[in-house]
Amino acid sequence: MNQQQPPPGLAFLKMHGLGNDFVVIDSRGRGAVTTPALARALGDRNRGVGFDQLAEIRDAEDADFTLDFWNADGSRAGACGNATRCVADLVMGQNGASAVSLRTARGGLSALRRADGLVSVNMGQPQLEWADIPLSHAVDPLHLPLDGEPVAVGMGNPHCVFFVSDAEAVDVAGLGARFEKDPLFPQKTNVEFVSVTGPDHLRMRVWERGAGITLACGSGACATAVAAHLRGLTGKRVLLDVDGGQLEIDWRADGVWMTGATAHVFDGWLTPAFLAVNA
């Protein structure tokens, strides 16, 4: 193959943060290409590529880049912390920089590479008012009127955080699917099941709206740390174990910072035939 002539079709990257896996499409310089149909087709792990979320990089006038997020069912996601860290790592490598600015539906965010190589992103301040999360009507977000009395937190997307004695024993699939679509959450919700395993140390398992069980959820980790502190279970800085590894969460004056590992797995091309069928 002539290396100077890329194959026809659409280039993509496969990346993951702690097993939370993403297809990344770089649309800078040409405009967005992702549609609900394309997201659903790509998200199919048997007939497409497979991902927890799709992240599309676009141009930004007031930041280094913009990120749009899609779920595997073709719905839009307002935030995705691990995908943000992955793409920030990618762009920092391209630019030879140690920090970047970006825009998402959440607003302006920033990310940096630490001296140890891990990538941190400031996910902004949590949304704690019922209307901002959003919930369907006025209730106390810190003590929701649901079985298990979970906490609701917004991180650009809604989260429902249950504190349990043993996260390993929870039926994540059954309960996650049930609470994702509870009428209290008009935009559906991510659902986290969390137990305290030590001082400022948490274990989290997660059901993501539009995706199901995932190995990690960055915005969910941030929401969990916020909820744990508000419930008086931890300080503002915690270590959080998820199925795919460990994240550091630090709720500071300027926002909730999340730090962890990232991986660029491979590059690929979607064929013209695939794109034509799934436009």
Q: Is 222 noted as a catalytic residue in this protein?
A: no
| pLDDT tens digit sequence for 14-59 | 999 999 999 999 999 999 999 999 999 999 999 999 999 999 999 9
**pLDDT surpassing 70 at residue 1:** no
Looking at the fold, whether 109 and 193 belong to one and the same domain comes out as: no
Query: In this structure, is residue 99 part of a structural domain?
Result: yes
**pLDDT surpassing 60 at residue 83:** yes
- Region 146-155: mean pLDDT is 98
Query: In this structure, is residue 144 part of a structural domain?
Result: no
Residue 39 backbone phi and psi in degrees, to 5:
-60, -45
Query: In this structure, is residue 47 part of a structural domain?
Result: yes
The residue from 80, 86, 160, 222 that is catalytic is 80
The residue from 86, 160, 217, 222 that is catalytic is 217
Looking at the fold, whether 230 and 170 belong to one and the same domain comes out as: yes
DSSP string computed for 89-134: HHHHHHHT-SEEEEEETTEEEEEEE-TTS-EEEE--PPB-STTTTT
Looking at the fold, whether 87 and 190 belong to one and the same domain comes out as: no
The closest alpha carbon to 90, from 74, 102, 75, belongs to 102
Query: In this structure, is residue 30 part of a structural domain?
Result: yes
Query: In this structure, is residue 136 part of a structural domain?
Result: no
Looking at residue 3, what is its pLDDT?
57
Number of domains comprising the chain: 2
Query: In this structure, is residue 106 part of a structural domain?
Result: yes
Contact 222, 231 (CB under 8 A): no
Residue 273's domain comprises 10-122+262-277
Looking at residue 279, what is its pLDDT?
77
Contact 17, 218 (CB under 8 A): yes
Region for residue 19 given its phi and psi (left: phi exceeds 0; alpha: psi -120 to 50; beta: otherwise): left
| pLDDT tens digit sequence for 182-240 | 999 999 999 999 999 999 999 999 999 989 999 999 999 999 999 999 999 999 999 99
Query: In this structure, is residue 240 part of a structural domain?
Result: yes
| pLDDT tens digit sequence for 246-270 | 999 999 999 999 999 999 999 999 9
List all residues 6 or more positions away from 260 whose beta carbon is below 8 Å from its beta carbon: 17, 18, 82, 85, 118, 119, 216, 218, 245, 246, 247, 248
Distance, first Cα to last Cα, the chain: 27
CATH of residue 256: 3.10.310.10
